[in-house]
Amino acid sequence: MASVSMTVNGKAVSGEVEGRTLLVEFLREGLELTGTHVGCDTSQCGACVVHVNGESVKACSVLAVAVDGADIRTIEGMAAPDGTLSVLQQAFQDHHGLQCGFCTPGMVMSAADLLQKNADPSEQEVREWLEGNICRCTGYHNIVKAILAAAATLRGEKIAAE
Amino acid sequence: MYAFDYVKPASVADAVKALSAEDAQPISGGQTLIPTLKQRLGQPSALVDLTKIADLVGIEAGSDSVLVKGATTHAAVAAHEGVMQAIPGLAKLAAHIGDPQVRNRGTIGGSVANNDPAACYPAAVLGLGATVLTDRREIAADDYFQGMFTTALEEGEIVTGVRFPIPEKSAYAKFVQPASRFALTGVYAAKLKGGVRVAVTGASESGVFRWAEAEAALASNWSPEAVETLAAPAADGMIGDIHGAPDYRAHLVKVMTKRAVAAA
Ligand SMILES: Cc1cc2nc3c(=O)[nH]c(=O)nc-3n(C[C@H](O)[C@H](O)[C@H](O)COP(=O)(O)OP(=O)(O)OC[C@H]3O[C@@H](n4cnc5c(N)ncnc54)[C@H](O)[C@@H]3O)c2cc1C
Ligand code: FES
Ligand code: FES
């Protein structure tokens, strides 16, 4: 066992983990932050995406010990403390970017990484960015719409929800 | 995954020492290794993390070559101004490996050490005639790749970097296998001071290889038309699976070579 400490959604946390403990296990089982999902556990689906030092990664493919000392952000850290959704989360709701919602935490965390790197992505760029995020319900169109709308809102433009 | 110890050396020398323990294995991005260990296809006693070694991370773009250090991520290569200017084909290759999350973790050292027959970097390393640097020697690309998942690396040897000569022009054309994101067939074509090199990944049972006929044709006439006149390489020895038959891959080699030359 090794002890790890990191910042998760702005809070300092620590815990005991095995070498083989995955970051997603530490988050879900150690910290009871179950918003980060495990869809495939084979690095394909992106349901487990979180940010490590600002970069999106698949938490099912990262060892908890390897991110000792890192700054982690999960879906639980996206809304304001009073529960007000972030612009991106609100856009997913407004544009019906989710149905069952299983893929949504990973979609939101992945898209948030895109928008911090590219404030004005084209539809093509959004679709390419979501290569590692699989959704079995929506057919992706509304997810792409939500992300483009959130980008516009964050740039100060207004796009009507349909 | 079976249990293992996790070791975090601060220098290459410490990493080499840690790797001398029985069944110790390096881990870089873990994007190949962790899924493999989850399937219990390996049982290392210890994983030695190379990504915390400062000497192994970074890119140095010089006047005639670009050095990408071993634990540098695909995302860092894709976004590096110096690489984009000197070898845009290499930056674009890195920008299309897997997906953004794989690129944020996966490293060049892990990719060339693993030598997956459908991986992208081996095509660039062989196609540009790069040199693989390790903790103990330098290995020319032509000697380094020795068949699928097989390389010249010895037990415990660490890839510390890859040095790419800057070509006159070069490009990578990848026909994506949409489920895995790897190359169903990918071709890296380069026009270098010393001649033309064409390296093919994803197609052959023997891993990444050079297509000599295309190199000869392109040396006298660097154009897609020069490739058009060639017969596709023999289907014998090409990979056949549910994604594509051997003759389909052989055909793709020719098509992707043309596209790479056109894009360069
Ligand atoms: C969904 C998905 C899609 C992908 N798509 C592509 C693609 O399109 N093209 C592509 O090329 N790749 C693709 N990959 C593979 C990806 O690029 C991997 O990151 C890469 O192949 C391995 O790099 P790594 O740093 O993750 O290595 P690890 O997984 O950490 O290690 C891989 C192997 O190399 C050894 N090793 C690691 N670093 C070194 C070193 N410096 N010296 C010696 N040995 C070392 C390890 O012991 C292990 O055996 C994909 C992976 C995933 C999960
Ligand atoms: S659970 Fe991590 S990619 Fe699917
Ligand atoms: S909303 Fe169901 S998987 Fe995406």
* CA-based R_g, chain A, Å: 16
Percentage of chain B modeled with pLDDT above 90: 98
pLDDT digits (tens, 9 = 90+) for B101-152: 999 999 999 999 999 999 999 999 999 999 999 999 999 999 999 999 999 9
Q: What pLDDT is attached to residue A1?
A: 87
Tokens of B21: 């323990």
- How far is residue B67 CA from its own chain's centroid? 14
Which amino acid belongs to residue A22?
A: L
B residues 39-68 closer than 8 Å to A (CB): 46-47, 49, 51
Q: Where in chain A is the domain with CATH 3.10.20.30?
A: 2-77
Q: Are B185 and B202 in contact (CB under 8 A)?
A: yes
- Kindly give, in sequence order, each residue whose CB lies less than 8 Å from that of residue B14, ignoring residues fewer than 6 positions away: none
Judging contacts by C-beta atoms under 8 Å, the chain A residues touching residue B8 are: 65
**Nearest ligand 3 atom to alpha carbon A101:** 1
Q: What is the DSSP string of B69-134?
A: ETT-BHHHHHH-HHHHHH-HHHHHHHHTSS-HHHHHH-BHHHHHHH--TT-SHHHHHHHTT-EEEE
Which amino acid belongs to residue A42?
A: T
| Residue of B148, B128, B130 lying closest to B139 (CA atoms) | B130
* Min Cα separation A89/chain B (Å): 20
Q: Are B107 and B57 in contact (CB under 8 A)?
A: no
Domains of chain B (ranges, CATH numbers): 1-55 (3.30.43.10), 169-263 (3.30.390.50)
Q: Are B6 and B50 in contact (CB under 8 A)?
A: no
Round to whole Å and give the CA distance between A73 and A71.
Answer: 7
B residues 167-186 closer than 8 Å to A (CB): 181
Round to whole Å and give the CA distance between B25 and B130.
Answer: 25
Q: Are B258 and B228 in contact (CB under 8 A)?
A: yes
Contact call for A58 and B47, based on CB within 8 A: no
pTM of the shown model? 0.96
| Residue of A46, A48, A98, A52 lying closest to B181 (CA atoms) | A46
Tokens of A98: 């989710």
Ligand nearest to the CA of B34: 1
The CA B243 to ligand 2 mean position distance, Å, reads 23
Give the pairing type, strands A55-58 and B159-165.
Answer: unpaired
Q: Are B136 and B157 in contact (CB under 8 A)?
A: yes
- Looking at the DSSP assignment, which residues form a beta bridge with residue A50? A57
Residue A6's Cβ-side half-sphere holds a number of Cα atoms within 13 Å equal to 26
pLDDT digits (tens, 9 = 90+) for B48-95: 999 999 999 999 999 999 999 999 999 999 999 999 999 999 999 999
Among A19, A56, A129, select the one facing B5 at the smallest CB separation. Answer: A19
Mean per-residue pLDDT over chain B, rounded: 97
Q: What pLDDT is attached to residue A157?
A: 79
Please indicate if any CB of chain A lies within 8 Å of the CB of B37: yes
- Kindly give, in sequence order, each residue whose CB lies less than 8 Å from that of residue B212, ignoring residues fewer than 6 positions away: none
> Which phi and psi (to 5°) does residue B259 adopt?
-65, -40
Residue in chain A closest to B6 (alpha carbons) equals: A19
| Closest residue CA from atom 4 of ligand 3 | A135
Judging contacts by C-beta atoms under 8 Å, the chain B residues touching residue A46 are: 99, 101
Which CATH fold topology does A87-154 show? DNA polymerase; domain 1 (1.10.150)
pLDDT digits (tens, 9 = 90+) for B55-68: 999 999 999 999 99
Q: What pLDDT is attached to residue B79?
A: 97
- Mutant choice from A57, A60, A147 vs B, greatest count of B C-beta within 10 A: A57
Q: Are A121 and A129 in contact (CB under 8 A)?
A: yes
* pLDDT mean for each 10 residues of chain A (162 residues): 96 97 98 98 96 98 98 98 96 97 98 97 98 97 98 83 52
The CA A57 to ligand 2 mean position distance, Å, reads 10
Q: What is the DSSP string of chain A?
A: -EEEEEEETTEEEEEEE-TT-BHHHIIIIIS--TTS--S-SSS-S-TTEEEETTEEEEGGGSBTGGGTT-EEE-GGGTS-TT-PPPHHHHHHHHTT--SS-SSHHHHHHHHHHHHHH-SS--HHHHHHHGGG---SSS-SHHHHHHHHHHHHHHTT------
With a 6 Å cutoff on the Cβ, whether A49 touches ligand 2 is no
Judging contacts by C-beta atoms under 8 Å, the chain B residues touching residue A63 are: 6, 27, 30, 34, 47
Q: Among B20, B102, B177, which residue has the most ligand 1 atoms within 8 Å of its CB, making it the best to mutate?
A: B102
Token pair 């069944």 is at which residue? B23
Q: Counting Cβ atoms within 10 Å, is residue B144 exposed (0-12), middle (13-18) or buried (19+)?
A: buried
Among B3, B47, B99, select the one facing A132 at the smallest CB separation. Answer: B99
Contact call for B30 and A66, based on CB within 8 A: yes
Query: Residue B239: is its pLDDT beyond 60?
Result: yes
With a 6 Å cutoff on the Cβ, whether A25 touches ligand 2 is no
Please indicate if any CB of chain A lies within 8 Å of the CB of B30: yes
- Looking at the DSSP assignment, which residues form a beta bridge with residue B132? B139, B162
**Nearest ligand 3 atom to alpha carbon A47:** 3
Which CATH fold topology does A2-77 show? Ubiquitin-like (UB roll) (3.10.20)
Tokens of B89: 């084909």
Q: Counting Cβ atoms within 10 Å, is residue B115 exposed (0-12), middle (13-18) or buried (19+)?
A: buried
Tokens of B161: 């970097």
